[in-house]
Amino acid sequence: MSPTTNNDVLVIGLVSVSDRASGGVYEDKGIPALSEWLASALTTPYRVETRLIADERAQIEATLVELVDRHRCHLVLTTGGTGPARRDVTPEATLAVATKEMPGFGEQMRQISLHFVPTAILSRQLAVIRETPDHAALIMNLPGQPKAIKETLEGLKDADGKQLVGGIFAAVPYCVDLIGGPYMETDPAVCKAFRPKSALRPQP
């Protein structure tokens, strides 16, 4: 579903962390990959806030705070800056603005990536909740490559479409429910959201 401009709906922040892309050395691929996947997966109306920034911890922290506290994002997806290099500080910045850690997301992200590359163990991707007195958001650090972004969010399927490894986004709608955000629905052909029966709403 295409993004909407309605201010009363789901708000998603997309942040690409890259020195070279933010400096114009090459075109950013993170935000387009995230935008394309969300458009294919979400059937709930939403609007997006996008930011392309450098690998600077203070800037990353300020951007996340701005997106959650000022723009009232319910979900923030970052891409880039999660490796072991000196300039990779996205996880540190994310933890600095967090009120709760959600370790299961990072564990599953690495599990998915390990199906493709042994260097997935070098990834420091994670997820957290940021809470203010009247608002909360789920913030997730995703891989930097478009293919890996899709695999992480969607999971792995065989040639017949059977799910082999679950993607992390299946748990996102219920997480957003639990922190007081809008009810999110997905296209099950792309990613089937999971909720306990008690949390399901009747189809319109």
Write out the chain's pLDDT in tens, 204 residues.
545 444 468 999 999 998 777 767 678 999 999 999 999 999 999 999 999 999 999 999 999 999 999 999 999 999 999 999 999 999 999 999 999 999 999 999 999 999 888 999 999 999 999 999 999 999 999 998 999 999 999 998 777 777 788 899 999 999 999 999 999 999 999 999 999 999 998 876
* Domains in the chain, number: 1
What was the pLDDT predicted at 112?
A: 92
Q: Tell me whether residue 181 is in a domain.
A: yes
What was the pLDDT predicted at 1?
A: 53
For CA atoms 44, 81, 67, 98, the dihedral sign is positive
Question: Can you give the residue range of the structural domain that contains 110?
Answer: 10-193
Helix (H) or strand (E) segment spanning residue 77: strand 75-79
Q: Tell me whether residue 104 is in a domain.
A: yes
What was the pLDDT predicted at 4?
A: 46
Q: Tell me whether residue 204 is in a domain.
A: no
What was the pLDDT predicted at 25?
A: 63
What was the pLDDT predicted at 202?
A: 82
Q: Tell me whether residue 53 is in a domain.
A: yes
Q: Tell me whether residue 48 is in a domain.
A: yes
Q: Tell me whether residue 153 is in a domain.
A: yes
What was the pLDDT predicted at 122?
A: 95
Q: Tell me whether residue 202 is in a domain.
A: no
Q: What is the CATH number for 154?
A: 3.40.980.10
Q: Tell me whether residue 203 is in a domain.
A: no
